[in-house]
Amino acid sequence: MQELASEPVATQPIEERLELVRFKVDKRPHIRVHTEACRGCDLTPCVYVCPAGLFEILGGEMHFSYEHCLECGTCYVACERKAIEWDYPRGGWGVSFRAS
Amino acid sequence: MHAQQQFDAIVVGAGPAGSSAALVLARAGLRVALIERGEYPGAKNVSGAVFYAPGLLAELLPSFWDEAPFERYITRRVLTFLGKESAFSLDFHTRHFALPPYNGVTVLRPKFDRWLAGKAVEAGALLITSTVVDDLLYEGARVIGVQCRRDNGALYAPVVIAADGANSFLAKKAGLQREFSAEEMSLGVKEVLRLGTRTIEERFHLTGDEGMASEYVGEATGPIKGGAFLYTNRETLSLGIIVQIASLAQQRIRPYELLDRFKQHPAVAPLVRDGLTLEYSAHMIPEGGWQLVPRLARAGLLVAGDAAALVFAAGIFLEGMNFAVASGLAAAETALEAHQKGDFSAATLAGYRKRLEQSFVLQDLQRFRLTPAFVNNERLQNIYPELLCQAAEQVFRSEGRPRKKLGSTILTTLRSKVSLWTLLRDGWQAGRALFF
């Protein structure tokens, strides 16, 4: 039997997906990360679980943005070091789903 | 205290639980505030979304079938075990689900939630949007109102219903819910794809307003614990994956990459072909089941819907909106009883849990309490779907050679990866979880 070669999966960049979503970005961030607690974190679950790809390790330092947050709360549940302080954005700000 | 800041009841969150509660309370003549942090009800809400047992609302709203913005009624249920390059499906279709009260309907939450909140407003509830509730207000141990994040944001009522969703900050602040673990919470990510009415009807073998709810396990989420769904709306598809957060973190695959993998699976790609993505969304789902359900009340406070983890994620059942509505209604009835008695103590509000124990809400969650562990069984997730496909392939394969009888073909395939003992043990677990 001939093995079927599985096609490499082409994934759409997250930025393109987020362009479809309506955000009213508050100047005040609703996510705070105590990045000193991130040093030495090998798991970095936040990087992998965030559905908006907002967390990134660059040069050993945690970088994050809050602007395109989908407000699910997955990051703070996944973070074992409890480094993420997460609250809702101010009323009326943040994400507004329209077609879901 | 201004008179405007005093209500008979405050409901936090204008999702299905909150709006149902507000509707009942306002109809009974109570002054009700319904507070929503989104710009409009539904702005922050995501479901698959099939609303099962919509008759729950139709009983309350006689015009429901004529005006509720539902997309399609579900007449086709499909469960698929997905292998790497094959798929094994159970496909059920019935016209018996095609008459009101329908068994289930697909909805788009921003539309549906806005409509339902509008019904509460018509009944007299005051809807306050764009407002976050930061905390509860207490007098001793009794909840007497809420603190909104705005100037003069204190609102008072003898009873508060927290229907503030999966993150349930209020339930936690009130000491009713604990911190979540990543094992008992799931992340759902979803896309809505436009295909057009005609294509949907042809592609999914549907007539008129019929709809399909299709769920997948196995290769749908690669090595990650969870599953995938594909639901038909009027002219769009809702599809997505639901994965356990702990497993996602462990396997280090990003959820949107997983979603793309699912869409490109050979059994799924032809179903979504030429679909234009309209929106991408995500939401956390309290899928822990029975063990995640918090204490449901304290003096002056009731917790309903996702905030109380009232989600029925039991393998072949994925239900939440009906649990939200039923719990919202029970919370409202309990609040009305408290008003009649003039007693908002923990003892009176404990009637809420009794109501839920008498309904499907807590009965289903308790009866199927072993199901979440079964659904996350490593082999059910990562081995059996592929094996089932291989067994089917062996059965259907024609090679111009003598065949063995089916039992031997199937057993040989299964035992290539799993011992007979493990098979029996998993069979027993499945039985305990779902069958007896």
pLDDT in tens, B37-47: 999 999 999 99
Q: How far does the CA of residue A89 sit from the closest CA of chain B (Å)?
A: 8
Note which residues in 22-51 of chain A have CB less than 8 A from chain B.
Answer: 24, 43, 45, 48-51
What value does the mean pLDDT take over residues B322-331? 98
pLDDT on residue B3? 60
Best of B114, B229, B256, B263 to disrupt the A interface (most A CBs within 10 Å) is B256
pLDDT of A3 over the 60 cut: no
For A20, nearest residue in chain B (alpha carbons): B279
What value does the mean pLDDT take over residues B55-63? 93
Report residue A12's pLDDT band, with 50, 70 and 90 as the boundaries: confident
Task: Give the domain range for residue B340.
Answer: 3-69+108-180+289-368
Residues B39, A24: C-beta atoms closer than 8 Å:
yes
Residues A17, B280: C-beta atoms closer than 8 Å:
yes
Cβ pairs bridging A and B (under 8 Å): 141
Residue B93 falls inside a structural domain: no
Residues B321 and B310 in one domain: yes
pLDDT on residue B140? 97
Residues A97, B46: C-beta atoms closer than 8 Å:
yes
CATH code at B280? 3.30.9.90
Residue pLDDT, tens place only, B177-220: 999 999 999 999 999 999 999 999 999 999 999 999 999 999 99
Q: How far does the CA of residue A42 sit from the closest CA of chain B (Å)?
A: 11
What value does the mean pLDDT take over residues B106-113? 98
Backbone phi, psi, residue B56, to 5°: -55, -40
Q: How far does the CA of residue B351 sit from the closest CA of chain A (Å)?
A: 31
pLDDT on residue A8? 52
Residues B31 and B7 in one domain: yes
Give me the amino acid identity at B15: G
Q: Does pTM top 0.90 for this prediction?
A: yes
pLDDT on residue B260? 96
Of A20, A88, A95, the CB nearest to B132: A88
Tell me if B194 sits within 8 A of B278, measured CB to CB: yes
Residues B414 and B317 in one domain: no
Domain boundary among B368, B402, B422: B368
Question: Residue B121 in 3-state DSSP?
Answer: helix
pLDDT on residue B114? 98
pLDDT of B247 over the 60 cut: yes
Question: Residue B79 in 3-state DSSP?
Answer: strand
Of B191, B264, B280, the CB nearest to A18: B280
Q: How many domains does chain B have?
A: 3
pLDDT on residue A11? 78
Residue pLDDT, tens place only, A22-46: 999 999 999 999 999 998 898 899 9
pLDDT of B57 over the 60 cut: yes
Report residue B2's pLDDT band, with 50, 70 and 90 as the boundaries: low
pLDDT on residue A6? 47
Tell me if B234 sits within 8 A of B199, measured CB to CB: no
pLDDT of B131 over the 90 cut: yes
Largest Cα separation within chain A, whole Å, is 60
Structure ipTM? 0.95
Domain boundary among B234, B263, B286: B286
pLDDT on residue A60? 84
For A8, nearest residue in chain B (alpha carbons): B261
A7 touches B: beta carbon within 8 Å = yes
Residue pLDDT, tens place only, B160-179: 999 999 999 999 999 999 99
- Residues from chain B that touch A74, judged by Cβ atoms under 8 A, are 185, 187, 245, 282, 284
pLDDT on residue A1? 38
Residues B176 and B303 in one domain: yes
Please enumerate in sequence order all residues whose Cβ is within 8 A of that of B133, keeping only pairs 6 or more positions apart, or say none: B12, B35, B37, B146, B147, B148, B149, B164, B170
Residue B90 falls inside a structural domain: no
Give me the amino acid identity at B377: N
Domains and CATH numbers, chain A: 29-96 (3.30.70.20)
- Is the dihedral angle over the CA atoms B98, B103, B107, B111 positive or is it negative? positive
